Chain A
Amino acid sequence: MEKKKRNLILSVVSILVLIGFIIWAEECTKAFGVYNQRIFKTCCIYAICALSMNMVNGYTGLFSLGQPGFMAIGAYVTAFLTVTPSDKIAIYKIVPISEGLANLNAPFFIALIIGGLVAAFFAFLIGFPVLSLKGDYLAIATLGFSEIIRIFITNAQGLTNGPTGINRIPNDFMNLYVLCGILALVVIFILSMMKTSYGRALLAIREDEVAAQAMGINLFKHKMLAFIISGFLAGIGGGLLASLVGAIDPNQFKFTVAYDILLMVVLGGQGSVSGCIAGAFIVRIALEKLRFLDEPINFGIFEYPGIGGMRMVVFSILLMLVIIKWRKGIFGNEEFSWDKVFNFFSKFKKAPKKEVEK
């Protein structure tokens, strides 16, 4: 009881602090910095993408790499529907856009949801052939799907403006309130869903497919469910990214995006919402903050010339060290809890005591 009360107070306080920080970061642009604001926003979006992957890879135990494809669909739908008709006509230079298509327009949030739904629909369509595949085969098939989407986008000039992509995407709503709000909604949805019988069924499939099926769980139906939700979330992530960046082209959705997201999920902990969010923030922030390694640094005595790609090398080494220490990611497949924080620190407190006793 004591502990419960303590944990509740701690949770309320930290949520308030977090909200305070978000307000400060958004309002005091000068103090926090436009650059840091942008990193924060990107982190939120990637956290949604990581949670999308976690739905399938972490909870259901499948190995899917379809995120870039679903993100691209969400991004293009959102961009297409939010760029004003006159801007669209101006942008589509090589193959002019038909008037009907140019006039298709929707308010940002509606466009975003439509983007998510279209991505979810594609997940549903490709779910039929690919969800019966196991392990690596599913990964290859979904990666293939992502590439097909990208190549389609590159070539469907009249619809997507081909390799040039779409720019002038309005970013009216790309503030921290909206992004953190959407992330919070996603988190609440996932946590509530995982507490239902359907969530447990997904976990059962992850734990033991044969046993799950023997207990009456329709594997295909439940994998499809996870896949569709994952597709929807990735679509939303893509839509937000399009709006934040303001310009998209097919190369932003190369299959390497899937590895970046996989990295976040594995680093944070597959099957853990806290882990995915932590992973997304750590990876995005580290990639940005290690940028100085690519540029020359003057140490006085000797000058580091700045090697392009050096930050990736350092980053990968750090990552390997982390994974060696925490094999299952920072959070494993469990959620953050105050009890764990206290246990973690009490370990440190006790350790020196023992030494004294000896």
Chain B
Amino acid sequence: MAAILETRDVVIRFGGLVAVNLLNIEVEKGEIISIIGPNGAGKTTAFNLITGVYKPTEGVILFDGERISGKRPDEIAKIGIARTFQNIRLFKSLTVLENVLIATHLNIKSNLFSSVLKTPKARKEEKEMVEYAEFLLKETGLLHLKDEKAENLPYGLQRRLEIARALATKPKILLLDEPAAGMNPKESDDLTEFIKNIRDKFNLTILLIEHHMQLVMSISDRIYVLEYGITIAKGKPQEIQENPAVIKAYLGEENDDLC
């Protein structure tokens, strides 16, 4: 099968620092792939490269065989790559529903004038947008909070709302940056189920950055391990757990987490 997302020898330098070095990730349709590695390994930077926030210094990124490196983040979102952020970036003073609605804007067909004048077509489109947003909120268990301001949500639900918002762009691939951060074991178990669920329901491919080893090991089809921007290992969860380089470099002190 051809890869849906592929990075080819991607390098990015910030001044003297090589944050990501020769990154070669291949993701196939329907897979859940994890990227792990110690703090500062370049995981989030890899996401920022894929979503167009940064342009690679070298290398190319392909989506469905087409080059996306060099495109703007909004263009890449339109092509079908959505993401969440490590340090939650919701539209804080807007409501939960508005947060999700905004992410449906990229597919809008009505222009400004027909929207303001509420032509039948524009009205219908707006209604469909609201219905879809409410459907996503229902799927993510947030519907009863739709009129709440995003900033008033507890942390765990804010993370969920970020996922709902990302889904609203109708992505083909979803990039989750530490979705379980700050969650207790029970919550992160729920999250595992939730991620598998949305993958099946929305026909998604998922790329995941996570520190919770249990979640990573139980959910991933394959794992990439980064350290100082270099891919030090890749493979199935089992292989990663047994890989001496990984154990030494990354899991040395956290060995307990592996079991």
A196 to B114, CA, bound (A): 10
At the interface, yes or no: A204 with Cβ under 8 Å from chain B? yes
Q: Would you call B94 and A197 a contact (CB within 8 A)?
A: no
How near does chain A come to B219, taking the closest CB pair, in angstroms?
23
A209, closest chain B residue (CB): B89
Known: A211-B85, A214-B51, A215-B165. A197 touches B115 (CB 8 A): yes
B78, closest chain A residue (CB): A216
A51 to B108, CA, bound (A): 26
At the interface, yes or no: A256 with Cβ under 8 Å from chain B? no
A192 to B123, CA, bound (A): 12
At the interface, yes or no: B91 with Cβ under 8 Å from chain A? yes
Give the bracket for the number of chain A residues in contact with chain B. 20 to 34
B73, closest chain A residue (CB): A213
Known: A197-B101, A213-B72, A216-B103. A203 touches B91 (CB 8 A): yes
- Contact partner of A211 among B90, B107, B112, B122, CB < 8 A? B90
Residues from chain A with a CB closer than 8 A to the CB of B106 are 215-217
How near does chain A come to B117, taking the closest CB pair, in angstroms?
8
A317 to B116, CA, bound (A): 41
Q: Could you tell me which residues of chain B, from 195 to 240, have a CB within 8 Å of some CB in chain A?
A: none
Known: A193-B116, A197-B129. A216 touches B105 (CB 8 A): yes
Known: A193-B112, A198-B112, A201-B102. A207 touches B74 (CB 8 A): no
A30 to B191, CA, bound (A): 72
Known: A189-B116, A192-B116. A217 touches B92 (CB 8 A): no
How near does chain B come to A58, taking the closest CB pair, in angstroms?
12
How near does chain B come to A344, taking the closest CB pair, in angstroms?
19
B103, closest chain A residue (CB): A215
A345 to B110, CA, bound (A): 42
Q: Would you call A214 and B83 a contact (CB within 8 A)?
A: yes
Q: Would you call A333 and B89 a contact (CB within 8 A)?
A: no
- Contact partner of B91 among A197, A204, A218, CB < 8 A? A204
Give the bracket for the number of chain B residues in contact with chain A. 35 or more
- Contact partner of A214 among B73, B93, B101, B108, CB < 8 A? B73
A216 to B169, CA, bound (A): 7
A204 to B73, CA, bound (A): 15
A188, closest chain B residue (CB): B116
At the interface, yes or no: A139 with Cβ under 8 Å from chain B? no
Q: Would you call B83 and A197 a contact (CB within 8 A)?
A: no
Residues from chain B with a CB closer than 8 A to the CB of A211 are 85, 89-91
Residues from chain A with a CB closer than 8 A to the CB of B77 are 213-216
A207 to B165, CA, bound (A): 15
Proximity bits, A192-233, B CB within 8 Å = 1, else 0: 110011101101100110111111111100000100000000
How near does chain A come to B9, taking the closest CB pair, in angstroms?
25
B91, closest chain A residue (CB): A207
A189 to B90, CA, bound (A): 27
At the interface, yes or no: B53 with Cβ under 8 Å from chain A? yes
Q: Which of B98, B112, B122 has the most CB of A within 10 A?
A: B112
How near does chain B come to A217, taking the closest CB pair, in angstroms?
6
Q: Could you tell me which residues of chain A, from 128 to 159, have a CB within 8 Å of some CB in chain B?
A: none
At the interface, yes or no: B126 with Cβ under 8 Å from chain A? yes
Q: Would you call A208 and B98 a contact (CB within 8 A)?
A: no
Known: A210-B89, A216-B106. A196 touches B126 (CB 8 A): yes
A332, closest chain B residue (CB): B93
How near does chain B come to A235, taking the closest CB pair, in angstroms?
18
Known: A204-B102, A215-B169, A216-B169. A197 touches B73 (CB 8 A): no
| 25 A-B residue pairings within 8 Å (CB atoms) | A192-B116, A193-B115, A196-B122, A197-B102, A198-B112, A200-B98, A200-B101, A200-B102, A203-B91, A203-B94, A204-B105, A207-B94, A208-B91, A212-B91, A213-B74, A215-B106, A215-B168, A215-B169, A216-B77, A216-B105, A216-B106, A217-B74, A218-B74, A219-B74, A333-B93
Report, nearest first, the 7 A-B pairs whose CB atoms are least far apart. A216-B106, A216-B77, A207-B91, A196-B115, A211-B89, A215-B103, A204-B102
Using A208-B91, A214-B77 as known contacts, list a sample of 20 further A-B pairs with CB atoms less than 8 Å apart, ordered by residue number in A. Answer: A193-B115, A196-B115, A197-B105, A197-B126, A197-B129, A198-B115, A204-B91, A207-B90, A208-B92, A212-B91, A213-B77, A214-B51, A215-B74, A215-B77, A215-B106, A216-B78, A216-B106, A216-B107, A217-B105, A218-B72
